[in-house]
Amino acid sequence: MHQAFKGLRVIDTTHVLAGPFASYQMAVLGAEVIKLEDPGDPDQARLQGSDRALSDARMGTAFLAQASGKKALALDLKTDAGQRALKRLIATADVFVENYRPGAFEALGLGYEDFKAVNSGLIYCSISAFGASGPRREQTGYDNILQAFSGMMDMTGWGDGRAVKCGAPVIDYATGTTAAYAITAALFQRERNGGQGQYVDVSMLDVALMLMSAPATGAIWSGEFPKAKGNTFPFATIGCYRASDADIMIAASNLTQQKRLWTALGREELIKSDNNTRLDNHAEEQTALSEIVATMPAAYWEDFFGKRRIPAVRVRSLQEALSDPQVAARGVFHRHDLPGAPLDGLTVPMAGFAMSDSPKVLSMPPQRVGAQTEQVLADAGFDPPEIAELRREGAFGAAAAKAAE
Which residues belong to the active site?
172
Distance from the Cα of residue 303 to its chain's centroid: 33
How far is Cα 63 from Cα 368, in angstroms, rounded to an integer?
11
Task: Look at residues 358, 403, 369, 303 and name the one whose alpha carbon lies nearest to residue 25.
Answer: 358
DSSP state of 57: T
DSSP readout, 288-311? Answer: HHHHHHTTS-HHHHHHHHHHTT--
How far is Cα 186 from Cα 199, in angstroms, rounded to an integer?
9
Q: Are 261 and 305 in contact (CB under 8 A)?
A: yes
How far is Cα 238 from Cα 234, in angstroms, rounded to an integer?
8
Distant-in-sequence, close-in-space partners of 378: CB < 8 Å, separation ≥ 6: 384, 387
Distance from the Cα of residue 308 to its chain's centroid: 35
